[in-house]
């Protein structure tokens, strides 16, 4: 990935993630019950620890860079806004949306070059599994709308 493109995509994706996630310095369980801390960090959360703002920012940057890299590896060369939008989606829910062409219409559309179609698929990913049932969540609906808007900017 070109460093300038990554830096811009990172800034755009983080601008969506921060208000969507909010910040919690102590652990909590998100709606599907996943152990979470800071700006939505889910890996290796220490229940006994109170995280600092600097630690939370570092976790967000590390996790978002990983998400952007994941998108770039499976869908190379996307425009910056598209990379940022799908990067945030991957940060939020994992790589399936952007990378799994067998289970994601958005991933298939990205792979075929239908970027506008892929961007329009983002709003379909607004559900979380709660007690085994896919339930639309207002926060996810709002977040996917922000990603879709960013994704479609400058796309013909």
Cβ atoms of 26 and 50 closer than 8 Å: yes
Averaged pLDDT of the chain: 95
Angstrom distances, CA of residue 104 to CA of 97, 99, 117: 6, 8, 12
Element (H, E) at 26: strand 24-29
pLDDT in tens, 104-132: 999 999 999 999 999 999 999 999 888 89
pLDDT at 2 over 70: yes
Cβ atoms of 90 and 13 closer than 8 Å: no
Cβ atoms of 78 and 86 closer than 8 Å: yes
CA–CA separation, 44 and 63 (whole Å): 12
How is residue 44 written in tokens?
């290796």
Show which residues are catalytic. 21, 30
In order of their start, the domains of the chain are 3-152 (1.10.530.40)
Q: CB neighbours (10 Å) of residue 153?
A: 15
Confidence of residue 1 (pLDDT cuts 50, 70, 90): low
Q: What per-residue confidence (pLDDT) applies to 50?
A: 97
pLDDT in tens, 34-43: 999 999 999 9
């Amino acid at each position: 990935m070109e460093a300038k493109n990554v830096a811009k995509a990172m800034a755009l994706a983080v601008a969506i993630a921060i208000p969507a996630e909010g910040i919690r310095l102590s652990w909590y369980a998100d709606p599907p019950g996943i152990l979470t801390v800071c700006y939505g960090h889910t890996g290796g959360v220490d229940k006994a620890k109170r995280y600092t703002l600097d630690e939370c920012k570092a976790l967000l940057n590390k996790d978002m860079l990983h998400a952007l890299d994941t998108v770039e590896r499976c869908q190379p060369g996307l425009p910056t806004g598209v990379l940022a939008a799908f990067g945030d989606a991957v940060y939020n829910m994992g790589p399936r949306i952007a990378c799994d062409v067998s289970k994601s219409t958005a991933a298939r559309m990205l792979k075929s070059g239908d970027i506008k179609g892929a961007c329009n698929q983002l709003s379909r990913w607004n559900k979380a599994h709660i007690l085994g049932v896919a339930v639309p969540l207002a926060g996810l609906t709002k977040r996917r709308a922000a990603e879709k808007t960013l994704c479609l900017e400058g796309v013909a």
